[in-house]
């Protein structure tokens, strides 16, 4: 799909929850390892849903990863000989990661970053909009809407809590299409009213 030479690049894998982002990231990591490339994998320490020191897909595929609390800790753990650096759940990491990624790509490293491009309100999530703008390659995955079965590009939060970040899985979220996605206003009602028929 992509031709990788010794020039650096940024690949971004995005989409809603349950779309296979971590699965695709793990697949690319495995291929780089088969190609005998030196690979380093990171994840936010915040995300400990399935494993503290591994990235894991909802289907339980795993790959060892270094958990980091922020971009500065990630920078301290970087292997100067790494040819491929993979990052999961990048929406949880701080803006300092942008400079780290730029520096890696400038010195010839292939960077692969996976994460949610939208939060549960359908708004851009964290640093993802900037990563999408800077990326050489973008893969946007779709899930299946749990209401109507259509292609789903959004994440529906099922539990009411404050704040943008709530680490969870099927107990707290499900995939929804644009039509079935609801934005709670605190009462469980839809914030964006559908237009009256004929408008």
**Whether 89 is catalytic:** yes
Residue 88, annotated as binding a ligand:
yes
Evaluate whether 10 touches 134 at the Cβ level (below 8 Å): yes
- Which one of 89, 95, 171, 182 is the catalytic residue? 89
Is the alpha carbon torsion for 22, 116, 1, 83 positive or negative?
Answer: negative
Evaluate whether 90 touches 115 at the Cβ level (below 8 Å): yes
Residue 11, annotated as binding a ligand:
no
Residues 56, 47, 167, CA angle at the centre, nearest 5°? Answer: 110
Which of 132, 95, 96, 99 is CA-nearest to residue 115? Answer: 132
Residue 80, annotated as binding a ligand:
no
Residue 145, annotated as binding a ligand:
yes
Residue 18, annotated as binding a ligand:
yes
Residue 149, annotated as binding a ligand:
no
Residue 57, annotated as binding a ligand:
no
Residue 14, annotated as binding a ligand:
no
Residue list, annotated binding site for Zn(2+): 145, 148, 177, 180
Q: Which residues have a catalytic role annotated?
A: 89
Residue list, annotated binding site: 15-22, 88-91, 145, 148, 177, 180
Residue list, annotated binding site for ATP: 15-22, 88-91
């Amino acid at each position: 799909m992509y031709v990788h030479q010794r020039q650096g690049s940024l690949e971004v894998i995005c989409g809603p929850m349950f779309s296979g982002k971590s699965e695709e990231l793990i697949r690319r990591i495995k291929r780089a390892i088969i190609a005998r490339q030196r690979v380093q994998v990171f994840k936010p320490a915040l995300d400990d849903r399935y494993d503290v020191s591994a990235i894991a897909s909802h289907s339980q595929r795993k790959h060892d990863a270094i958990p980091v609390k922020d971009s500065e800790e990630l920078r301290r753990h970087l292997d100067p000989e790494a040819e491929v650096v993979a990052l999961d759940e990048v929406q949880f990491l701080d803006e300092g990661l942008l400079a780290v990624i730029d520096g890696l790509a400038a010195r010839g490293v292939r960077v692969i970053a996976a994460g949610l491009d939208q939060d549960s309100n359908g708004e851009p999530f964290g640093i993802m909009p900037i990563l999408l703008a800077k990326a050489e390659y973008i893969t946007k995955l779709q899930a299946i809407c749990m209401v109507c079965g259509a292609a789903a590009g959004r994440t529906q939060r099922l539990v009411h809590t404050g704040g943008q970040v709530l680490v969870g899985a099927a107990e707290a979220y499900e995939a929804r299409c644009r039509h079935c996605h609801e934005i709670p206003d605190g009462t469980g009602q839809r914030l964006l009213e559908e237009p009256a028929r004929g408008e």
